[in-house]
Structure 1
């Protein structure tokens, strides 16, 4: 038996008393819902069809006797609870017919200024009815830091099924603001002590008497399936997460005029001296503004060049800055080793090695694959220099993969392949998603050359991702590129395992997002709903990884067109993109109050007037920008604009959507036609964006054959809210 606390021991005994009578009971979708009064706690006990049970604490007043009255209407129970702490209001919404999600919300109006030095977790996995033996189970996903307040677990004895619990931490903002506490690390625990616990009020900041505070807003999706293997687990997690997401209150997004943002960013990128260094007659981007101590890196140059290429292809224009970047790329090639290098060879020895990777011959495993991926993208567009650098480096990359048997460490030496750092943390392994990134590189090589050897190599690497479960994620962009590569492998080979592995990568991504808005402290100044963390233990979200994941998700949806893909995947990918387009502008320090910018900067300097994005956005009680102002995150706007704005020749407007689109008709034809990604149960924004001061034409806009009425904005744009997965026709005269 697992060790348990006195609180859990006592609660379990109380809920197993013979003849215990519920205050309220209801059946929904073959599940039973009963509410019990147990002196100092009020519990909701949910029963599976097979008899297994789990209890959720709705309200608590230590060493007290609750006075509870219950009313019910249309499957929703309301509890009014008087106690020494004050007055609770609890609302329990049972699942609608055919839906797996229920919700309970607890609000407290304190009778006196209150501090909470301790609060028990709210989930108790009971055994079968009549048994005081707790259920066996396993937590598969839990909250880390300020990611989603989620808990995904299965109950294995008695055999019951699985639960996805999501605490809507957005609703707790008043509690966090009053007590100066964070929503981070509030959902978790060790079996069987699991669930949500209020963050303790250790700063002597009390709740105000007479003011109402939400103490819990929990959404739960239930399944009667105990996943039998990794693929079943991943599918279940994605489906339950999407079901909860549909029920979750979501913030309102706003239209951001990205053409203006892009021009400001392009001007500062080209003209700000802090963005550039010069080596051996060539110009290179710094990794961070005013970071002159670090030598130029090839990853940085290509991470900016590729989004610029997306933009010039969309706009049919030329940018001199792109030629400047390309001229410096050959200097990164090492003829002796037969590969591109991370650091510029001419100045690599100027590093002082203050960090273990800042040494001339030390390679971070993904830092070799990522530039090769971007060189291959250039090569497939006809760039001969990129093709030569890519193909000339490919054999070295294959040699490294074989040497490590497709299990890459964190750092190794380029000349000897000696491991410098094997694991991210003791027992955690190396960079586990690099096999997927490498598979992407080899798929590009196969597409470029037609050599089947490269396709076989991609398959060998992809197989290394099997069995990694929710520990696959090392870095967000690597994992998202892996997902796309695996989907492509599935389409090429028709082997289901690769589609399932692509879902595994995506599940790891969605495990590392924050499905809540940090509306306390500095967090009130920027939206953070559906933000993505760059590493599985990173304390902040980061612009570069978010921008690349955004592009990778677009690519995934493009490859998924016409394929039998999980509806939950289509929904979650499109929604991440929709919120990123709204949030990403707040990475620019120009959009933030200066008092929330860190005075101490790890790398380079932060110029609050420069349209270069901060690397890092933090919890509301921490200042942002402490890592630096990230030049290699400059692709932000250049990735968004060409993917979300559709041009129409000779007209005073462009078409914008915040969902991805498929099949936009040629820009000279009318009506303009395209299909929206996403899910028809959710809406996205469609805009006809005015581009000059001329009169806008009269429009006819239809979605799925039905005429739509737009709303005119103060800027003269025309705005529509339309269901995802719709076919849109736009005509004008």
Structure 2
């Protein structure tokens, strides 16, 4: 065990000598309260008499005293006083079906005050009040991601704790002290949990109320046996807490208008395009004319644009033709595969980064464009099919060379590994076996040749036992989950379904379930944002859009499958927040002073409807990486998934949730909302023509219907609030 702080040693000495001052019980949980010289503690006694203590108030200077204890609904309210100010803490049971409790503490300082020391808020003890020597920490906060901590007490085998800090409640503290919500939940055993960021240069103001903690605790007597059980329970526990987590409202955006503005910008703004080898190509970033075109960029925009034009009912678009004309120029006859950089302009590579060299490949970059070619081929694109099949053998040879364990960078001709690991001791791109499996499965669906399916099965074996370490890049981990779900549906082998849970647990561990509302964070929503890499310091537009599309696909594929509790809830809620949040990557919706003027690549043009790559902590400027042209497909991707047409009618149905049913019959539409646990979502009827309609939306309950009243009515739309699992009938 690591050396202990003086504060922990003092607590470990005091607590065993004290008598409980209060007890709070739910139908499934009993908590004891203890007051040490400087802290108020909740202590939970496990069945084996081990103990876990949660510090709900820290008095800093000692001399902490209780002034009043009141019974409140489902809990207690305790008022305390110290030499620095007043504390009020509420301890409640959000749902008495589960061993779950919440503690929220507010503080009013008596004078302007600097907080220069703050300990973690969880300590674990044996039945004899000795500090527990070890535990297994499964997950903790990284950067600005969720304030979640999941750990098990294994020696003696005791149970597990899922702890979640609602960092949104601390925004006034962060704003006042100019601190951040980053890296606050975790710690080094045995001192773990949440601690405030220190305010050693900007004081709290006298007489102002600040929330110092808002924490949810879910207890379980189960110690997970393996990575699959750990991941599944992470999803289940997160969903249980999520239901009671304070959540911000969502915004509704006119996505079709945004799409058309973006399409116009792409068509006529020269900063999008480079000419080389006889064809036009999209730049990766606006006005980046130095870097050669990349195959991934072309297909990242082409695929959603094809989906969008099909949704519109158009046969094609000039940009689609322009992009298709140049794809074959990426094919290398010697290697028998597509390559990353356009060969005609690869002499422009400046060697400034490991991958900016001819024939150097990033492992996931090999698969990503091939996966998009497979998607286009599935839509009937014959050229995409041929280019895919001409390249697929090379991809298979590389997989076999690396034994399905992929490095970061390698040389395409020699297959010499240039960079083996993402960081020392962490291995290569661990989710790429899943993206390779996704590619193989898609190719099998196209060709029905069994060796592609065999490759998919062979590859996903490399995902077993990795747990949260499987996650490398959010979009690719999500695609891996989809491939595994499809394998499960085909084979009925449960291990594939369970491995898909491991992938999704990695994704949901990598999200930000709190709203950054300080500094620049006031200008863009961040709740439920997903980070592109496990250590990335910012969220990224394109990866978010692909995670959204991937989770939407997973939900569609999962219909009729009995999933672990809470998974469909989290997927549906991610979709709802994604389509509300992602437009704020467009600089047109942001104050210009929060955008950098010195992007790493290319230029930032605030007038363009194309996303900046990066949104960061509220104290940092956005767009530091650049304005990503390959993110231009965001709106094209959202519209076909959330806007629904009725044949021969002049209105659209928009819903910010996935659907379980959409069945039009004459002048009636039957809908079933997706998700779980009656979470609320939005449904809009959008009028897009001159025809006059009289709409009636009803909720179906058994054999009866109940009319629903719109929240708002305008000339353009009717808006309703509906709920997960709700069955609806629309008549006109």
TM over 0.5: yes
Query: Contact between 1:23 and 1:70, CA under 8 Å: does it hold in 2?
Result: no
1:206 is matched with which residue?
203
Residues 511-535 of structure 1: CA distance to partner in whole angstroms, max 9, x if unpaired?
Answer: 1000000001000001100000001
Counterpart CA distance in 1 for 2:143 and 2:72 is 38
Query: Which residue of 19, 33, 37 corresponds with 1:39?
Result: 37
Query: Which residue of 192, 207, 211 corresponds with 1:194?
Result: 192
**Structure 1 residue 369 and structure 2 residue 367: aligned?**
yes
Query: Contact between 2:541 and 2:612, CA under 8 Å: does it hold in 1?
Result: yes
Query: Which residue of 498, 501, 517 corresponds with 1:500?
Result: 498
**Structure 1 residue 113 and structure 2 residue 112: aligned?**
yes
Q: Superposed, which structure 2 residues align to 1:313-712 within 5 Å?
A: 313-317=310-314, 318-666=316-664, 669-692=666-689, 695-704=692-701, 705-712=705-712
Q: TM-score, normalised by structure 2?
A: 0.97
2:55 is matched with which residue?
57
Shift of 1:97: 2.5
- Structure 1 residue matching 2:218: 3-state secondary structure: strand
Shift of 1:194: 0.4
- Structure 1 residue matching 2:204: 3-state secondary structure: coil
Counterpart CA distance in 2 for 1:610 and 1:676 is 35
Query: Contact between 1:310 and 1:642, CA under 8 Å: does it hold in 2?
Result: yes
Shift of 1:716: 4.2
**Structure 1 residue 70 and structure 2 residue 69: aligned?**
yes
Residues 318-370 of structure 1: CA distance to partner in whole angstroms, max 9, x if unpaired?
Answer: 21110110000000001111101000011112211011100011000000100
Query: Contact between 1:30 and 1:49, CA under 8 Å: does it hold in 2?
Result: no
Query: Contact between 1:31 and 1:49, CA under 8 Å: does it hold in 2?
Result: no
Deviates more, 1:535-544 or 1:681-690: 681-690
Counterpart CA distance in 2 for 1:340 and 1:488 is 26
Shift of 1:671: 1.0
- Structure 2 residue matching 1:136: 3-state secondary structure: coil
Distance 1:322 1:152, change over 3 A: same
Query: Contact between 1:525 and 1:592, CA under 8 Å: does it hold in 2?
Result: yes
Q: Superposed, which structure 2 residues align to 1:128-277 within 5 Å?
A: 128=127, 130-134=128-132, 136-202=134-200, 204-277=201-274
Counterpart CA distance in 2 for 1:298 and 1:703 is 49
Shift of 1:27: 2.7
Residues 155-209 of structure 1: CA distance to partner in whole angstroms, max 9, x if unpaired?
Answer: 112322111111111100000000000000111101111011111124x211100
Counterpart CA distance in 2 for 1:329 and 1:720 is 44
Query: Contact between 2:687 and 2:717, CA under 8 Å: does it hold in 1?
Result: yes
Shift of 1:379: 1.1
Distance 1:665 1:715, change over 3 A: same
- Structure 2 residue matching 1:174: 3-state secondary structure: helix
Two-structure CA RMSD over aligned residues (Å): 1.4
Unmatched segments (≥5 aa) in structure 2: none
- Structure 2 residue matching 1:184: 3-state secondary structure: coil
Q: Superposed, which structure 2 residues align to 1:279-290 within 5 Å?
A: 279-290=276-287
Q: TM-score, normalised by structure 1?
A: 0.97
Residues 85-104 of structure 1: CA distance to partner in whole angstroms, max 9, x if unpaired?
Answer: 10001000135321232110
Query: Contact between 1:26 and 1:75, CA under 8 Å: does it hold in 2?
Result: no
2:719 is matched with which residue?
719
Query: Contact between 1:115 and 1:205, CA under 8 Å: does it hold in 2?
Result: yes
Query: Contact between 1:28 and 1:95, CA under 8 Å: does it hold in 2?
Result: no
Counterpart CA distance in 2 for 1:198 and 1:703 is 48
Shift of 1:725: 1.9
Query: Which residue of 288, 292, 299 corresponds with 1:291?
Result: 288
Counterpart CA distance in 2 for 1:686 and 1:381 is 29
Shift of 1:227: 0.6
Shift of 1:697: 2.2
Shift of 1:83: 0.7
- Structure 2 residue matching 1:651: 3-state secondary structure: coil
Distance 1:96 1:378, change over 3 A: closer
Query: Which residue of 307, 310, 316 corresponds with 1:310?
Result: 307
Counterpart CA distance in 2 for 1:716 and 1:345 is 49
- Structure 1 residue matching 2:552: 3-state secondary structure: helix
Query: Contact between 1:301 and 1:632, CA under 8 Å: does it hold in 2?
Result: yes
Query: Contact between 1:189 and 1:195, CA under 8 Å: does it hold in 2?
Result: yes
Query: Contact between 1:138 and 1:191, CA under 8 Å: does it hold in 2?
Result: no
Residues 429-472 of structure 1: CA distance to partner in whole angstroms, max 9, x if unpaired?
Answer: 11000000000000011111111111111001011001111111
2:123 is matched with which residue?
124
- Structure 2 residue matching 1:702: 3-state secondary structure: strand
1:93 is matched with which residue?
92
Distance 1:156 1:350, change over 3 A: same
Counterpart CA distance in 2 for 1:4 and 1:278 is 63
Query: Contact between 1:135 and 1:158, CA under 8 Å: does it hold in 2?
Result: no
Shift of 1:395: 0.7
Query: Contact between 1:305 and 1:322, CA under 8 Å: does it hold in 2?
Result: yes
Counterpart CA distance in 2 for 1:577 and 1:268 is 26
Counterpart CA distance in 2 for 1:566 and 1:189 is 30
Query: Contact between 2:124 and 2:131, CA under 8 Å: does it hold in 1?
Result: no
Query: Contact between 1:159 and 1:226, CA under 8 Å: does it hold in 2?
Result: yes
Deviates more, 1:479-488 or 1:38-47: 38-47
Distance 1:241 1:626, change over 3 A: same
How many aligned residue pairs are there?
A: 727
Residues 603-639 of structure 1: CA distance to partner in whole angstroms, max 9, x if unpaired?
Answer: 0000011111010000000000010001001111111
